[in-house]
Amino acid sequence: MLLPPRARPAFPLALALGLSLGLSPSHAQVNPPIPPGLLGGNPTSMKPVPKLPTGNPATAGGAAAGYGTTPDGKAYVPPANAAEWTVLVYTVADNNLEGPLLDDFDEVECIGSTAKVNIVTEIDRWRPAPGSPEADRDDRTNGDWDNARRYYMTKDDCSSNISSKLLEDMPEIDMSHPKELAKFIAWATKKYPAKRYALLMGDHGAGWKGGYVDENAPPEATPMLMSIAELQKGLDEGRKEAGLPKFAVLATDACLMGSMEVADALWPHVDYWASSEELVPGPGYDFKPVMRALTTTPTMDGLALGKAFVASMKGFYGEGGTDVDPSVTEALFDMSKVPVLRANVDKLATLLKGDLANNKVGLGIAGASVDQFGPQTNPLGGASEGYADLVQIAAVLRDTTQNADIKATASAVIASLDAARVDAFDGADKVHARGLSIWLPPTEDIIDFLPSYQKTPFGKSSPWSQLLTVYSKAFDSSVAPKVSNIQVLKQIANPFFMGERTVTAQIDGEVREAVMIVSQNLLSAVVPVEVDPVTDPALFKQLAEGPAITAWKKGTNVVSAKWNPQYITLSGKDGAEFPLSINRERLGSTTFDAEVLAVSLTSKQEEPVLLRFAGSKLLSGFFIDKTDGEIFYTPFDPRKLPAGKVAFSPSYRVVDGSGKSSSLKLPINVKWDKIEDLKINVRPMLPGIYTLTVLAEDFAGHVGVSKITTTLP
């Protein structure tokens, strides 16, 4: 179970945090409850102003009149033998997501086609090389074939056996290539004509970078992904070949695809689009209620079917659902309204570029304060990919600018996005998500990915990429802030006090973000075990859209942090235990992420994984995979890992005083036979010497550092 390591750290000081802790019998005490607010502490987790879907469902959507128009502009007239719906399921399973995608196949088969609803699929399966590190993830069910096939999906007994009608047994193909998507669209819609068409695309996703990875894609020797430009091309060529109207519904069952860049590529081909801004757990959509609703009411329109996808996410992951996950997001968009949104985003980018000197700090504050989607493990800035919520960015710019045109245009962006979003479900920790992200990484990370971004349809044509180009250089003359005068305020009357301590510091210079890292001396290394926010509570301003702006003062800021000397640990069935050091700055009220190693107890192979928790519950896992030069987070269900054959082990990225990072692993394995063996605990930190490091970062990524040591009795 070994995969390529990360291509590059997500942030120069990114810490894959954790520390092995050998607790002596004297510490084997009853676990105290997780203290209220232990995982919170930032005003970004405050209760939001409720948001309601907007738009007029009665008139929304390009298919409101008739069945839409073909690419040559003619009204689409369904053939006499047309069904009500044909659902095309494009399943790119020729990669390590094969198992969950086969589970989706079973869910669709549980309902199956009817006389009025055709469901057809093209699926390309995976077979890693025998004995390779990835072999543990191969799904060997149903004959373990590894080529591509087309099926007419029929109802079965809801078992894991494929019983659908095999239509074509195809050779190995590259389903990440737009020509294969186009061929499937043309074949399926000609063979099974209908009044309306839906397209479901399941696999990896990485927002504007693309998705849909085919690891055995002749003649390419390395895994390939479908770029957003290629996705657009496949849809365009497939529709032209078949004389097809827009798809009434497109559902992207993949991580991070809910972005402005993707929406801009899809709107010419789709009436309604369902997608997620966030990482999608392994099960993805619950297809049974969606297909049940469609086959029960086959005359439903695209809006109704799109809402069924949103409802399936709420029913599965929402409160009282099968697998509650407060980090899940899902939104449905009326794509006929995306051009207005695009025009407002373009205007905002143009205005910002023209007045960047007065608004660059506002952009920097937006990037540091809004919800960003993806793994939340970085000590500075939360998620690392730059997938920032578009509405929240506009709200920060609206409230920080003095430019009346920018203020009005930012408000127009919010209004037009809300008008396009006709339905949504957001988990309890993502209540501010508004459905679409846009790329706004830290300035220091822009240049690495800008050439790739500019190859996307949106990046080629929108002033947003031009804005990012000049924004990346806007703080070139800045210098790192200076941190000094760190103090730990103790209860002098009680030297054995183990409760919360206030830590204060002075920061001089320009500040984008500041954190405190608590480290413990271990094996001659200073290993970080906790990250906390550093701020002045009086500097916060809570926006109705969610972000809490930190209005750092120019010059000198006297700031404080709260240090509660407790570990949050992961333990297993045999008593082994290690802390999960987490970033408490951007985690909301309950969920948090931790990077560890998954270790095969049979082959001894290991690979990095991301574990997502909600309070004391392990929600889901993601293998950290590198494909075609990009990092993908492959969801997996920890409950489906082979019982007794996999363990979790701590792994850390240790940072020295110069900012240079190195990896540190410790030979501690947390084992389990069933998922219930894994427990989240709160332990008091062990007596000893701790290093408190305050880091302050400016808008160019320059970091000022100061530290002190303190002793826990």
Q: What is the DSSP string of 596-623?
A: EEEEETTT--EEEEEEEEETTEEEEEEE
Query: Distance between CA 495 and CA 712 in Å, rounded?
Result: 9
pLDDT at 274 over 90: yes
- Judge contact between 670 and 414, C-beta under 8 A: no
pLDDT of 38 reads 30
pLDDT at 353 over 60: yes
Written as six digits, the tokens of 31 are: 């676990």
Written as six digits, the tokens of 647 are: 């363990």
pLDDT of 23 reads 30
pLDDT at 493 over 90: no
Nearest CA to 607 among 632, 573, 582?
632
pLDDT of 64 reads 41
Query: Distance between CA 456 and CA 265 in Å, rounded?
Result: 9
Per this entry, what is the length of the chain? 713
187, 199, 241, 244, 627 from 182: Cα distances, Å: 9, 12, 8, 12, 23
* Torsion over CA: 230, 236, 240, 244 (sign): positive
Average pLDDT value for the chain: 83
Written as six digits, the tokens of 493 are: 């009357």
pLDDT of 401 reads 96
pLDDT at 162 over 50: yes
Q: Where are the domains of the chain?
A: 25-29+478-509+512-712, 83-128+155-335, 340-471
Q: How many CB atoms lie within 10 A of CB 508?
A: 14
* Residue 31 vs residue 210, higher pLDDT: 210
pLDDT of 31 reads 31
pLDDT at 387 over 70: yes
* Residue 332 vs residue 532, higher pLDDT: 332
**Mean per-residue pLDDT, 599-609:** 85
Query: Distance between CA 508 and CA 483 in Å, rounded?
Result: 7
pLDDT at 672 over 50: yes
**Mean per-residue pLDDT, 122-141:** 73
pLDDT at 26 over 60: no
Q: pLDDT category, 48, cuts 50, 70, 90?
A: very low
* Residue 382 vs residue 671, higher pLDDT: 671
- Judge contact between 91 and 105, C-beta under 8 A: yes
- Judge contact between 694 and 519, C-beta under 8 A: no
**Mean per-residue pLDDT, 584-589:** 49
Write b or e for each residue in 583-607: b if 16 or more Cβ atoms lie within 10 A of its Cβ, otherwise e.
Answer: bbbbbbbbbbbbbbbbbbeeeebbb
Q: Which H or E run includes 463?
A: helix 463-471
pLDDT at 445 over 60: yes
Q: pLDDT category, 575, cuts 50, 70, 90?
A: confident
pLDDT of 143 reads 80
- The three-state secondary structure class of 373 is strand
Strands (E), 279-342: 329-334
Largest CA distance in the chain: 88
pLDDT of 18 reads 30
Q: Which H or E run includes 212?
A: strand 211-214
Residue 436 one-letter amino acid = L
DSSP string, 509-566: S--SEEEEEEEEEETTEEEEEEEEE-B-GGGEEE-TTS-EEE-PPSSEEEEEEEE--E
pLDDT of 497 reads 54
Q: pLDDT category, 219, cuts 50, 70, 90?
A: low
pLDDT of 375 reads 76
- Judge contact between 424 and 275, C-beta under 8 A: no
Residue 542, strand partner residues: 548
pLDDT digits 0-9 by tens, 397-413: 999 999 999 999 999 99
pLDDT digits 0-9 by tens, 650-670: 887 665 555 566 777 878 899
- Judge contact between 272 and 335, C-beta under 8 A: yes
Residues above pLDDT 90, as percent of the chain: 52
Query: Distance between CA 445 and CA 294 in Å, rounded?
Result: 44
Non-local (6+) Cβ contacts of 461 within 8 A are: none
pLDDT at 710 over 70: yes
Residue 707, strand partner residues: 693
pLDDT of 6 reads 23
**Mean per-residue pLDDT, 110-124:** 97
pLDDT of 66 reads 78
pLDDT digits 0-9 by tens, 54-83: 333 333 343 444 799 999 999 999 999 999
Non-local (6+) Cβ contacts of 490 within 8 A are: 497, 501
* Backbone phi, psi, residue 66, to 5°: 65, -145
pLDDT at 472 over 90: yes
175, 217, 597 from 225: Cα distances, Å: 9, 10, 25
Query: Distance between CA 12 and CA 29 in Å, rounded?
Result: 38
Residues above pLDDT 70, as percent of the chain: 82
Range among 72-86, 483-497, 543-557, 668-682 with highest mean pLDDT value: 72-86
CATH 3.40.50 fits 83-128+155-335, yes or no: yes
pLDDT digits 0-9 by tens, 231-269: 999 999 999 999 999 999 999 999 999 999 999 999 999
Q: pLDDT category, 131, cuts 50, 70, 90?
A: low
pLDDT of 585 reads 52
Query: Distance between CA 635 and CA 207 in Å, rounded?
Result: 16
Angle subtended at Cα 346 by Cα 344 and Cα 352, rounded to the nearest 5 degrees:
100
pLDDT at 371 over 70: yes
Instruction: Tell me which of 84-93, 137-146, 324-333 is least confident.
Output: 137-146
pLDDT of 380 reads 53
**pTM score, whole prediction:** 0.84
DSSP string, 624-691: EEEETTEEEEEEE-GGGSPTTTEEEE-EEEEE-TTS-EEEEE----EE-SSGGG-EEEEEEPPSEEEE
